[in-house]
């Protein structure tokens, strides 16, 4: 049996969880592939992050679902927290102006927002604007908690430094 819509699928997922059946990546991805047109990204995130197990991969399905139905604002809301995901990066390339405006707006309103500069940096990198991305990624590194994000940002900054120093040495020779 297949759930006809998001609400039914979510109810089934809740029942499975209550009965001790662990939800997996496939279950969540299937749920987030349902029609999300009447669902806010914030509500989906709040529910999902409250789950014991909430891997990143299913968020890609939600971003892709919103993108397909042209709910770009909702897709960007998810990309704000997960800009490094493949589905988010595709969204950022396809809707670069909207993404930059959205992320800059958040950063301007809340300079200490933990994800705004991270998302801005990733967007600018996706657009090949490494030099512009650098200060945003440096700020994101300062705001990031310990863990995988810090490692990823450090690696990107290393790559940018390498690319820019190669560019400078080619200009000077």
Write out pLDDT tens, residues 28-69: 999 999 999 999 999 999 999 999 889 999 999 999 999 999
Q: Where are the domains of the chain?
A: 1-94, 111-173
Arithmetic mean of pLDDT, 141-153? 90
Q: How far apart are CA 93 and CA 170, in angstroms?
A: 28
**What is each CA distance from 20 to 4, 13, 17, 58, 146, in whole angstroms?**
23, 11, 5, 20, 32
CA atoms of 147 and 162, how far apart (whole Å):
23
The model carries a pTM of: 0.90
- The CA distances from residue 59 to 51, 55, 77, 112, in Å, are 13, 8, 11, 24
Percent pLDDT > 90 in the chain is: 87
Confidence of residue 1 (pLDDT cuts 50, 70, 90): low
Is 46:15 a contact under the CB 8 Å cutoff? no
């Amino acid at each position: 049996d297949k759930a006809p819509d998001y609400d039914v699928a979510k109810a089934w997922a809740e029942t499975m969880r209550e009965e001790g059946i662990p939800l997996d990546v496939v279950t969540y991805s299937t749920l987030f592939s349902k029609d999300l047109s009447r669902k806010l990204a914030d509500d989906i995130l709040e529910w999902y992050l409250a789950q014991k197990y909430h891997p990143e991969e299913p968020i890609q399905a939600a971003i892709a679902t919103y993108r397909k139905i042209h709910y770009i604002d909702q897709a960007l809301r998810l990309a704000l927290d997960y800009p490094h995901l493949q589905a988010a990066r595709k969204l950022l390339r396809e809707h670069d102006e909207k993404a930059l405006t959205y992320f800059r707006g958040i950063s301007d309103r809340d300079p200490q927002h933990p994800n705004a500069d991270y998302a801005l940096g990733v967007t600018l990198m996706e657009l090949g604007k490494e030099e512009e991305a650098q200060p945003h990624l440096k700020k994101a590194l300062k705001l990031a908690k310990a863990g995988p994000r810090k490692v990823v940002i450090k690696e990107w900054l290393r790559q940018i430094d390498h690319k820019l120093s190669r560019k400078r040495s080619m200009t000077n020779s």
